[in-house]
Structure 1
Amino acid sequence: MKIDLTTIIKSSLTSHPKLKENFKSALNKIHKVKEKPSIQIGFEGIVSEIKKDILIEDLTQIIEAQTFERAKYYVNRLIKGITEVKQSKINDLNLNRWKEYDDLITDSLWIFNKRDKSGAHNAGYWGNFIPQIPNQLLKRFTKKGDWVLDPFAGSGTTLIECKKLGRNALGIDLSDKAINLCNENLGKEKKSFDVSVETLTADSSEVDLKKFLIKYQIKYFQFIIMHPPYWDIIKFTSEKKDLSNAATTEEFLKMFGKVLDNIFPFLEKKRHLAVVIGDKYSNGEWVPLGFLIMEEVLRRNFKLKSIIVKNFEDTTAKRNQKELWRYRALVGGFYIFKHEYIFLFQKR
């Protein structure tokens, strides 16, 4: 159903005693549209699709305004949302219609009951993160056609999301096995956009990114997402350069720092870097890997934008062992990990 708001809005603004009556009429029409999440509305030759519940909310707000000036403000805001696009330099969101992005989380606590298994996504690779993490970050901090770098590609979760959302991407991993699985997963994901999603078996602390950028005639990546090993909790390869084989915390941080130093120059200024990392418990002591990694990044030319805490209810290592871990926690005097961090940085 198409609703023409032009006449209603114009008559409401010129003869304000009828404002409530006119908008109540529009509201009644919208309520009659059944089983449609969005509605086409016309305004001065412009036809725009707006979520039904948001349009109802806006019109109700106009009707319930206590003064005409306040109602007029709400009307003008609605007109602007229909007729104008307001965008930032780092994403495709229309901020004049910010209410429509109810799928985007703006709080620092992320709770997901289950992982997204749509398309090529699966939990077959031990240690991969849930697709909702890159999905949220890519929508907030990249535009279609931007270039994304994942220096710890694993099974390709971020790359799959890039392919789904229309972002170009390069995924690097030290493991041939991981890159082969990554390519296999990418092959299963339907390509909806004309983008390049590439993979490379290499050490991210040494790889020559300049060659890659020259190949695609670009100067920088617009976003970097890093999901490094949580030190030696999972041994990914037998390679000496693998962060999961670091002998000490200090060596782990030094190796991670080398990756940062190698990729940092190729991130565009004022663009974002996200690091997803969890802590470790060893020898009766909590090892705060997350905050140690955060400090490592802040030593470079980055500023901290957010610390996000993301829950996880189940892991491969603890699956079907909840009672055992509860017993261990009571005996050992510690608390069981139920979260990991997403540190968001911006290059100065």
Structure 2
Amino acid sequence: MKDNNITLFDFDSDSDKKTNWRTESIINQDMFLEVLSKIEQLNENNKVKFEIQKIIEAIINPRKDSLGLLNISSNGDTAKVNKDILLEELNQIADSQNIERAKYYITRLKKSLTEVKTSKINDLNLNRWKEYDDILTESLWVLDKRDKSGAHNAGYWGNFIPQIPNQFLRRYTKQGEWVLDAFLGSGTTLIECKRLGRNGIGVELLPEVVEIANKNVSSEENKFNVKTEVITADSTELNFKQELEKRNIKFVQFLIMHPPYWNIIKFSNNKKDLSNARSVEEFLNLFGKVVDNTYDILDKGRYFAVVIGDKYSQGEWIPLAFYTMNEVLKRGYILKSTIIKNFEETKGKVNQKELWRYRALVGGFYIFKHEYIFLFKKVKK
């Protein structure tokens, strides 16, 4: 048993992943389950509390582990668990008012260590759902900083923050499934695909941006050996089904689009670029074509996210996001969620805070501090 030589960091003998003993515990799963099963046979609540308290003390201070719960050996299964969550579960058992409730919590804890329960659309283990505390489930996303780790960078004006595809890929896809980004930009979605073990295809109109995307994506480690590809094409005209068939892909399991916010940022002089649309009607027509072109390649029952913001022009707030949302709804999708995401500064306003505050006071409007993420579900073939 590891007793007098436990350090702050150690290694799980099964996974060789570094463990922080302040936040994680590596338990001998067989022994832990055996102890829980013995406690489960008790018929007096006070005895249950007493025995559970021994486990709590061992988790808090491994040097006092007299039960062998943290005895990690090569011939025993181990489980890495979040220490705070494990203690919360154990305390819930100890605080139970009656023996029936205590046994219910014991059974639930055993199940979380022995059974994996996932949905049809992701790999999240719902028996250990409390461990996914970094996955957002509320409709207001306040993200202070963009992820700049690895291949991610903010060098391309107009790319979205990596946390957006990261959240969606983890909640709405499984490892090995296919993701399509129809407005790829500098490659953010495909970088996240490589990190999370999803295959990804991105379509980008501008060759010079494709070059940036390929450089960014190729610099990210491909530890899951997934496939990613950038296609140089116009998403308003591309035959997506044909492109997938060339690659022996029948359907994708998640769609994501981050189109230009009309002409707020002029990305090029290309007439096919949505940022050069002559009117909001033309912008919506072009965007609608992309939705049409991708509809048949998304699996039924799967999800589609659109990241879009509004526009202020000539004294009028133009609800571009909601116009865009309606274009999707016209085509048979249902709306599952509307998410409001904050943003603090854009490249164009980073040194103009006071100027924009003055303009707002004079013009009687409010400065943009948010954008929208619409989540849709395909319910028809």
Aligning the two structures, in what range does the TM-score lie when normalised by the shorter sequence?
A: over 0.9
Residue 24 of structure 1, aligned match among 32, 53, 57: 53
Q: Residues 328 and 41 of structure 1: is their aligned pair in 2 closer, same or farther, counting only changes over 3 Å?
A: farther
Q: Distance in 2 between matches of 1:321 and 1:341?
A: 23
Q: Residues 41 and 260 of structure 1: is their aligned pair in 2 closer, same or farther, counting only changes over 3 Å?
A: farther
Is this contact kept in 1: 2:27–2:79, CA < 8 A?
Answer: no
Of 62-71 and 210-219, more deviation after overlay is shown by: 210-219
Alignment correspondent of 1:261:
292
- CA offsets, 1:30-86, max 9 Å, x none? 00149xxxx9799xx753221111101100110011111111111111111111111
> Is 1:15 the equivalent of 2:42?
yes
The one-letter code sitting in structure 2 at the alignment partner of 1:131 is: P
Q: Residues 298 and 72 of structure 1: is their aligned pair in 2 closer, same or farther, counting only changes over 3 Å?
A: same
Q: Distance in 2 between matches of 1:303 and 1:151?
A: 19
- TM-score of the superposed pair, with normalisation by structure 1: 0.95
Structure 2: stretches of 5+ with no match in the other structure: 1-25, 64-68
Residue 336 of structure 1, aligned match among 350, 356, 367: 367
Alignment correspondent of 1:301:
332
Q: Residues 223 and 261 of structure 1: is their aligned pair in 2 closer, same or farther, counting only changes over 3 Å?
A: same
Q: Residues 330 and 41 of structure 1: is their aligned pair in 2 closer, same or farther, counting only changes over 3 Å?
A: farther
Alignment correspondent of 1:2:
27
The one-letter code sitting in structure 1 at the alignment partner of 2:369 is: K
SS where residue 56 of structure 1 aligns?
helix
Alignment correspondent of 2:7:
none
> Is 1:218 the equivalent of 2:249?
yes
Q: Distance in 1 between matches of 2:146 and 2:62?
A: 33
The one-letter code sitting in structure 2 at the alignment partner of 1:213 is: L
Alignment correspondent of 2:228:
197
Q: Distance in 1 between matches of 2:361 and 2:142?
A: 25
Aligned residue runs from structure 1 range 84-123, under 5 A? 84-123=115-154
Is this contact kept in 1: 2:33–2:110, CA < 8 A?
Answer: no
SS where residue 335 of structure 2 aligns?
strand
Q: Distance in 1 between matches of 2:322 and 2:242?
A: 33
Runs of 4+ in structure 1 off by over 4 angstroms are: 39-42
Q: Distance in 1 between matches of 2:316 and 2:242?
A: 43
The one-letter code sitting in structure 2 at the alignment partner of 1:297 is: V
> Is 1:282 the equivalent of 2:313?
yes
Of all paired residues, the percent bearing the same amino acid is: 59
Q: Distance in 1 between matches of 2:337 and 2:293?
A: 23
Is this contact kept in 2: 1:85–1:95, CA < 8 A?
Answer: yes
Q: Residues 160 and 41 of structure 1: is their aligned pair in 2 closer, same or farther, counting only changes over 3 Å?
A: farther
SS where residue 281 of structure 1 aligns?
strand
The one-letter code sitting in structure 2 at the alignment partner of 1:327 is: Y
Aligned residues: 342
Residue 108 of structure 2, aligned match among 39, 58, 77: 77
Alignment correspondent of 2:8:
none
Q: Residues 344 and 82 of structure 1: is their aligned pair in 2 closer, same or farther, counting only changes over 3 Å?
A: same
Q: Distance in 2 between matches of 1:116 and 1:275?
A: 20
- TM-score of the superposed pair, with normalisation by structure 2: 0.87
Structure 1: stretches of 5+ with no match in the other structure: none
Q: Distance in 2 between matches of 1:113 and 1:73?
A: 40
Of 111-120 and 206-215, more deviation after overlay is shown by: 206-215
Is this contact kept in 2: 1:145–1:195, CA < 8 A?
Answer: yes
Is this contact kept in 2: 1:46–1:83, CA < 8 A?
Answer: no
The one-letter code sitting in structure 2 at the alignment partner of 1:246 is: A
Q: Distance in 2 between matches of 1:50 and 1:175?
A: 46
- CA offsets, 1:133-154, max 9 Å, x none? 0000100001111100001000
Is this contact kept in 2: 1:155–1:178, CA < 8 A?
Answer: yes
Alignment correspondent of 1:163:
194
